[in-house]
Chain A
């Protein structure tokens, strides 16, 4: 039964990964018919020690971690809040559910372009003109995407906006699975809304919450599209303040035509992700146990 899945895994995950390890030892250019020259561990040495390349890689890694550290709790909490809101069976609640879910079906490149208009620098930007309007002109126009201090925060906000609806739907399903009798029993015990939430709702959806957090973590680590679109096609995104590891790998491979370095970055990142997942697994396991 598992054979086809294993075959596909081998074909699309294991083979490319082993190939990546091989490529990372050579200087490979995409499309070059010459046989690639062997570089040994040079690509790894550069990623870890070369002042330019390793500084970029480390800052990319840092951005990934900041992104995950903010997005995982904030997005999960927000999704849970939304799910609680739209769980109520009031008329028209379906419309709200669809509205909140809508951004999920937008491709992230489109989301980036929408937010590029919202966050545009200058007075024409939607956010800037709204802020100027509400502050009576006291709040000057900001370069949200270009400024070093707000660039990463802007990317985080638009990513949460886009991803939140999906987690909401999963949590909504979990909420609807919590037996109604438990709430009734809690009410008989004179538990207030907050106590019901703490002692009935949260335990009831705990496994789903852990899943959602894990899933968001994985998505946060591979964040790439929105940064690429905003930096490369005119968003004016501060590249230095927002580059992520995936961005480093993809630009090395396809903009600089350096498959060797891109592979080395991917392999190093793989090791880091494995370590992170092991830590996370241990943490959730002790919690469950």
Chain B
């Protein structure tokens, strides 16, 4: 009896061990099975975005599958918080054929040989039709590695009624009219006085300055002040430049006017008159504020107003080898005007192709979000920020994870009152040491 019980126990333990092992292989093997690739089916990974966005994508995949008989796309959605680390931790041959990725992570995946160049995979029409922002954030080492259905813009949203109540009549709508930093700060003080909450603006603190949001939301300040994060793979003297120190000192001084927005509804409920965020909030804001919603450029620190860009985009992995035609046809389908229109209806993003942008209800001339489209029409790289360009992409380098995590930690500390120069010096040392450990991420 004892023996029987013992062997049962052993069997149960082995069973548990086996199922763990099976579960693990099932997880890691979720990518491409080469058998599937032969019959024209492709595996697709995407992040779980806002529910409207994910639903739109699922509908598009369904539509693609029923539109033709040669290729079947199987979509797997992965939660956004784990998305990038999942791809990072998956070896290239276990990846799906087609995957989505956040724009600034593209260079690191291309460097890790997890993406193949798309110039021969996509149709020439698709490639030529991209708006400048999309083609720029998809290019690494002079080759296209990713295409985006849309791009994003960052702006200053205002509540017209509250602005007028504070006596602010000069509401900028184009880049040229952007408030200078001094005007912006004066207005913050005025708004804080008249606001019910005593606060003037939501700067997105609740999204976490130490996370990717911090880099995305504060780099426009730095660029507008004439600084940038890295140049030629060097951070020393660049990320801790005097321009950056001054700009971030100013940014941190806005804390007394900033609502921590723990409820998540400070701006739409009229607790603050201003909010500093992206186009994806437009559906919520316009529903709450209607005619009172105004979109303004971010303040000008001296080098012209700037705005971040670069959003989710699609690439093809080495797992699709021998099947790139199917992967290409899927991406070509996603980049058609109809697909893009369906997607941007869900997330109010800037359409990623020229023709879709022309038909857009939101971004055309005199349309509510025209400014974002205009910003993207003059895009430049963060290595080479001019006074004229407005939309600037975050640094396209395989070392980006270290750049953003060091900068984010510095931002969080600066927001908490730490010395700006010291924090940026430490970030510069951390980034340069990482680049030198990795031979400057030379991609030979």
A residues at B contact (CB < 8 Å) = 1, 3-5, 7-8, 27, 29-33, 39, 52, 116-117, 120-125, 143, 146-148, 231-236, 238-240, 251, 254-258
Contact = CB atoms under 8 A, between A and B. Distances in A.
A123 B198 contact: yes
B113 to A, nearest CB: 5
A231 B210 contact: yes
A257 B401 contact: yes
Contact of B13 (A4, A32, A148): A4
B259 A257 contact: no
B302 interface: no
A258 B13 contact: no
Contacts of B112: 29, 31-33
> Which of B405, B406, B416 has the most C-beta atoms of chain A within 10 angstroms of its own C-beta?
B416
A117 B88 CA distance: 32
Contacts of A32: 111-112
Contacts of B426: 52
A32 B401 CA distance: 13
Interface of B: 6, 9-10, 13-14, 17, 85, 87-92, 108-109, 111-114, 197-199, 205-211, 259-260, 262-263, 401-402, 405-406, 409, 412-413, 415-418, 426, 429-430, 434, 437-438
B88 A236 contact: no
Contacts of A232: 208, 210-211
B262 A120 contact: yes
A238 B416 contact: yes
B113 A33 contact: yes
30 contacts: A3-B10, A4-B10, A4-B14, A7-B17, A8-B13, A30-B88, A31-B87, A31-B88, A32-B112, A33-B112, A121-B260, A122-B199, A122-B259, A125-B260, A146-B415, A147-B416, A231-B412, A233-B211, A234-B207, A234-B208, A236-B209, A239-B210, A240-B416, A251-B405, A254-B85, A256-B402, A256-B406, A256-B430, A256-B434, A257-B401
Contacts of B418: 240
A232 B430 CA distance: 19
Contacts of A52: 426, 429-430
- Which secondary structure dominates chain B's binding surface? helix
A148 B412 CA distance: 12
B89 A31 contact: yes
Contact of B437 (A1, A27, A117, A146): A27
Contacts of B429: 52
Contact of B262 (A4, A7, A116, A258): A116
A58 B415 CA distance: 23
Contacts of A1: 6, 9
Contacts of B437: 27, 39
A239 B259 CA distance: 20
Contact of B402 (A3, A122, A125, A258): A258
Given A256-B405, A257-B402, 10 more contacts: A4-B17, A7-B17, A31-B88, A32-B112, A120-B260, A124-B260, A125-B262, A147-B416, A251-B405, A255-B401
Nearest to A121: B260
Contact of B205 (A147, A148, A236, A256): A236
A121 B416 CA distance: 11
A240 B198 CA distance: 29
A123 B260 CA distance: 10
Contacts of A116: 262
A190 to B, nearest CB: 51
Nearest to A123: B198
Contacts of B114: 31
Nearest to B266: A124
Contacts of B409: 239
A29 B260 contact: no
Report, nearest first, the 7 A-B pairs whose CB atoms are least far apart.
A4-B13, A255-B405, A234-B206, A234-B208, A120-B262, A233-B208, A257-B401
A31 B85 CA distance: 10
B17 A8 contact: yes
A265 to B, nearest CB: 15
Contact of B412 (A7, A39, A239, A258): A239
B262 A31 contact: no
A32 B434 CA distance: 14
A121 B402 CA distance: 29
Contacts of A33: 91-92, 112-113
Contacts of B109: 31
A165 B205 CA distance: 32
Contacts of B434: 256, 258
A124 B262 contact: yes
A280 to B, nearest CB: 31
Contacts of B92: 33
A168 to B, nearest CB: 30
A117 B262 contact: yes
Contacts of A39: 437
Contacts of A231: 208, 210, 412
A145 B438 CA distance: 36
A236 B438 contact: no
Nearest to B207: A234
